[in-house]
Amino acid sequence: VETSLPSTAVVAYSYEGGVLRLLDQRLLPHEETILECTSALETAEAIRTLAVRGAPLLGVVAAYGLCVEARRVAARSAGDLDVALQVAAERLASTRPTAVNLSAALDRMRHVALATAGGGAEERVRLLEAEAARIAEEDRAACGRIGRLGAAWLRERIRVPKPTVLTHCNTGALATAGIGTALGILRVLAAEGPLAILADETRPFLQGARLTAWELLKDGLAVTLLPDVAAASLIARGRVHAVVVGADRIAANGDVANKVGTYPLALAAHAHGVPFVVAAPLTTLDPWMPDGAAVPIEERDGAEVLRLPLSGGGHTALAPAGASALYPAFDVTPSALVNAIVTERGISEAPHAEGLARLLAAGAPR
């Protein structure tokens, strides 16, 4: 008998009647402010400025971004719907290049738009909304299965009374439509028994410090923050039993693009024989990308490294005026460093080219 899945009090988004409401992640943990998007342009801006982020949630939000645009245009001039949706999809797709979930969700929505061309505007908008809801529901369900499968895999391999698991960035209810991917696994493990969750701060946007810590505490789970730079030495000293992270795009050979700072964790885990686990729904798999070399890596403005936003607005400088900074926002972990890739359909163990191909061929989960 399966125990029930842990639930979450976090509401990252909602959609109703042409209005997309997003919990503004730029303001967490200080403020819980809702951002209302009623056009694709506003939605794209929210994505670009990281008010909303996390690969699976980007797919869901982009899909609803097309819905708000469809409602907006249909109310004014239904005849313009197809051109408006095309422009909106391109605008949304261009916001962030690395997470493949974004373009995959938009492709699904475009498919519905094409298949319903010539139909009544109201009916078409309803069908687009139904598809966006399906994308969200599928992601919610995928998180649950990933949580269960990943927790079982780790429990079998870590035989200490209270394991310490390190995670990076935010992969939870603020990054998906469900309990999360990597964080979903940690939520299930924490529900099953004693667990210490270590969260990398994740410089410079501080997804770990601001978001992962906020959502875990909101759900009554303890979390210990770790400066990113301390992870490798802690792993070397045997203080970490597993590293569990998410992904923004997984290539056919199992190379994993994820938040910058993931690759150094994989190197350290490999060097010290600590399991390194990647958790992601199949929507994060890009079977057309043979390996990680071709994955587009988002370069963000160095200004985001040089200054820290203040809770009351404005910024404080972290470096002298005149200093410049580089900000590659993602890195690629070679497949050989990844012990397991946990998806909703099962787990791939090395060699991942075969493991992932098998999962893709397996069809819908039983």
- The footprint of ligand MRU (CB under 6 A) covers 53-56, 99, 169, 171, 175-176, 181, 207, 246-248, 258-259, 329
Q: Which of these is catalytic: 139, 200, 228, 248?
A: 248
Query: CA distances (Å), 73 to each of 39, 81, 84, 193, 199, in order?
Result: 9, 6, 7, 51, 43
CB atoms within 10 A of CB 224: 11
Q: Min. distance of Cβ 333 from ligand MRU in angstroms?
A: 11
| Residue 190 three-state SS | helix
Residue nearer to ligand MRU on the CB measure, 91 or 168: 168
Q: Min. distance of Cβ 88 from ligand MRU in angstroms?
A: 21
Query: CA distances (Å), 24 to each of 28, 49, 103, in order?
Result: 7, 10, 22
Residue that has been written with the tokens 């980007």 in this structure? 58
Residue nearer to ligand MRU on the CB measure, 121 or 359: 359
CB atoms within 10 A of CB 116: 18
Residue nearer to ligand MRU on the CB measure, 95 or 253: 95
Provide the edge-to-edge strand list for the sheet that holds 19-23: 13-16, 19-23, 34-37
d(CA 335, CA 291): 9
Q: Min. distance of Cβ 241 from ligand MRU in angstroms?
A: 20
Q: Min. distance of Cβ 102 from ligand MRU in angstroms?
A: 10
Residues 6+ apart with CB under 8 A from 114: none
What is the dihedral sign for C-alpha 278, 281, 284, 288?
positive
Residue nearer to ligand MRU on the CB measure, 247 or 251: 247
Both tokens of residue 154? 């780790």
CB atoms within 10 A of CB 270: 19
Catalytic residue flag (residue 248)? yes
Residue nearer to ligand MRU on the CB measure, 248 or 344: 248
d(CA 205, CA 182): 19
Length of the chain: 366
Both tokens of residue 54? 């996390």
Residue that has been written with the tokens 């070397």 in this structure? 236
Q: Min. distance of Cβ 115 from ligand MRU in angstroms?
A: 29
Q: Is the peptide bond before 351 cis (omega within 30 degrees of 0)?
A: yes
Q: Min. distance of Cβ 39 from ligand MRU in angstroms?
A: 22
Sequential DSSP letters for 69-125: HHHHHHHH-GGGHHHHHHHHHHHHHTS-SS-HHHHHHHHHHHHHHHHTTTS-HHHHH
d(CA 349, CA 200): 25
| Residue 232 three-state SS | helix
Q: Min. distance of Cβ 160 from ligand MRU in angstroms?
A: 26
Residue nearer to ligand MRU on the CB measure, 116 or 333: 333
Q: Min. distance of Cβ 71 from ligand MRU in angstroms?
A: 26
Residue nearer to ligand MRU on the CB measure, 53 or 148: 53
Residue nearer to ligand MRU on the CB measure, 248 or 255: 248
**Residues known to be catalytic:** 248
